[in-house]
Structure 1
Amino acid sequence: MNSIDKAVVMEPVTWRDFVQLAKPGIIFSNLITAFGGFWVASRWDIDWALLVFMIIGTILVIGSGCVLNNYLDRDMDTKMARTKKRALPTGKMEPNVVLWYGIVMGIVGMSVLWFLVTPLSALLGLLGLFVYVWIYTAWFKRTSVWSTVVGAISGAVPPIIGYCAVNEQLDAGAWILFAILFLWQMPHFWALGIRRMEEYRAAGFPLLPVVRGSFVTKISMMRYVVLLVPTSALLYLYGYVGMIYLVAAIVMGIYWAYLCLKGFSAKDEEAWAKKTFIFSINYLTILFLIIVIDTVHV
């Protein structure tokens, strides 16, 4: 162990380390979709107390998944430049502490959703947590080229947690929101995979770009984006949102497809992947903000 590593280990653990383990960026992006799902189901007739409890429970459940993901990936994280300085790979935090932190957070989050929101929201949270931690992180992420598709199931759960907090049923609105988030994730994460391909290869993750190459990955990205355009329009066709949303969803979807198409002729593949990845984040954020603004009133 060199002097830099020793210095990292000797640093005291702070509350910021616990916050970073829960990946606040991931929590925030998922919370936007959960909020959007809640708002669509409420149709502007908002139960503010229910909304607050849904947010708290969802934050804790998602945070639990991220913490347990850090725990399970601690050996792999030492091999990647963007993750090797995290608290677990550096030895700053004890694995058992992180494990119990994640478990307790999950139990509290599930309890909030079950007792203060709806049992269905809690069950959906449990499903998302199980798929993300045990099916995706512990199994598929290390063994299958289709790990991203499996992980997308858990990533598509937050909006229906919010939706079912109000409606308490998996109706058309819930499934449309699930489909939008499911389709969004593949081109989003594969853009990151192309950008960080060599890091994933070194860590031993069989991500699609690593196993099949960037050309095949770009074709797959294009397929999902093309499917996303008509799927996103279903919220309008089923009467949940207005024309502003429809126009924005179609325009942004077509532009994303255009970006994917440009990837086949990109001279700087890493720059293209970065641009596409950033746009995917902006797409989701803007889409759900417009969903909230343009939700049809009761």
Structure 2
Amino acid sequence: MLKDLIDLTKPRLLQLNMFAALGGYMVAAKWDIDFWIMFWMLIGSTLTMASATVVNNYWDRELDKKMERTRNRALPTGRMKPGPVLAYGLIMGVAGISILFLLVEPITGWLGLIGWLVYIVIYTMWLKRTSTWSTSIGGISGSMPPVIGYCAVTGEVDAGALLLFALLFLWQPAHFWSLAIRRVEEYREAGYPLLPVVKGIKRTKLQMIPYVFLLLPTVVLLYTYNYAGIYFLIISVVFSLIWLVHTLKGVSAKDTEKWAKTNFLISVNYLMVVFIAMIANTTFS
């Protein structure tokens, strides 16, 4: 039971997003840390994200039965009942958003609420079932963690918040499409109109390129506007170029399965490395 409750929150995704939220906080705080604000920001944003993933699992429970990757989850197998799972998700959401509103900054509460609504209503309930734009538009919610972390310090959305939003927003499509290419037949059978299902794998590879390419000016601007230092710039530009080159190679790759697996791994490590560099090389106040 406990394992299922944890798995419903998609803990690996939560860890990555918590790290992004911490990165956003550190960029704004410039090592002048209010530990209580940071603590409550991490708790509130994590509960909000966990709520969204649990409600997503609730809403997708019938479709999850059709995919090998998801059919062994707690709801499709019947190990847990839908009602308690929905209550579990909503309670966490109310708790998380309340913490952000009351114990952090009101704007972080609004950002958490917007992210939650985009993920559940626009992405899960609507676009995921109807449009190839689901991945890109759904990326709005996935881009909120570092912005929440940043705004916990500043109390406003400024250039730094927008650049952190852009970093996550641009990262997500190529990351997810790398997985979707490998699982394209499963998604097709389940009825999800993802880009590789509707437009084909070649089109998907081409559409990844502008997203990965635009990461370069994003990380450069984070340095230019003094949100991070020179070591961050060097590391993030090098890793952006590595990912861009590999993405470009995908257009002519003969072994698409191998290419997509490597591209997915690069994307995961890219985000971790860039945020580690950002935290370590944040400019001091």
Deviation track 1:206-263 (CA, whole Å, cap 9, x = no partner) reads 0001100111111110111111111121110101111101111111111111111111
Could you tell me how far apart the structure 2 residues matched to 1:24 and 1:275 are? 22
Pairwise CA distance, 1:29: 0.6
Is the counterpart of residue 37 in structure 1 residue 24 in structure 2?
yes
Q: State percent identity of aligned pairs.
A: 52
Pairwise CA distance, 1:46: 0.3
Match of 1:57 among 21, 26, 44: 44
2:4 is matched with 17
Match of 1:279 among 258, 261, 266: 266
Amino acid of the structure 1 residue aligned with 2:9: A
SS of the aligned residue for 2:75 comes to coil
1:82 is matched with 69
Could you tell me how far apart the structure 1 residues matched to 2:174 and 2:66 are? 24
Pairwise CA distance, 1:90: 0.4
Pairwise CA distance, 1:265: 2.1
1:93 is matched with 80
Over 6 Å off, 4+ runs: none
Deviation track 1:145-169 (CA, whole Å, cap 9, x = no partner) reads 1100111000101100000000000
Pairwise CA distance, 1:16: 1.2
Could you tell me how far apart the structure 1 residues matched to 2:221 and 2:182 are? 32
Aligned residue pairs total: 285
Amino acid of the structure 2 residue aligned with 1:144: S
TM-score (norm 1): 0.95
Could you tell me how far apart the structure 1 residues matched to 2:210 and 2:154 are? 32
Could you tell me how far apart the structure 2 residues matched to 1:82 and 1:233 are? 37
- Structure 1 unpaired stretches of 5+: 1-13
- Structure 2 unpaired stretches of 5+: none
Pairwise CA distance, 1:66: 0.3
1:192 is matched with 179
SS of the aligned residue for 2:77 comes to coil
Could you tell me how far apart the structure 2 residues matched to 1:274 and 1:175 are? 30
SS of the aligned residue for 1:63 comes to helix
Deviation track 1:24-69 (CA, whole Å, cap 9, x = no partner) reads 1111011111000000000010001111111110110000000000
Could you tell me how far apart the structure 1 residues matched to 2:275 and 2:234 are? 13
Pairwise CA distance, 1:177: 0.2
Residue correspondence of structure 1 range 124-139 to structure 2 within 5 A = 124-139=111-126
Could you tell me how far apart the structure 1 residues matched to 2:220 and 2:55 are? 35
Pairwise CA distance, 1:15: 1.1
SS of the aligned residue for 2:42 comes to helix
Could you tell me how far apart the structure 2 residues matched to 1:231 and 1:173 are? 11
- What is the CA RMSD across the aligned residues, in angstroms? 0.6
Deviation track 1:268-295 (CA, whole Å, cap 9, x = no partner) reads 1111101100110000001001000000
Amino acid of the structure 2 residue aligned with 1:94: K
2:241 is matched with 254
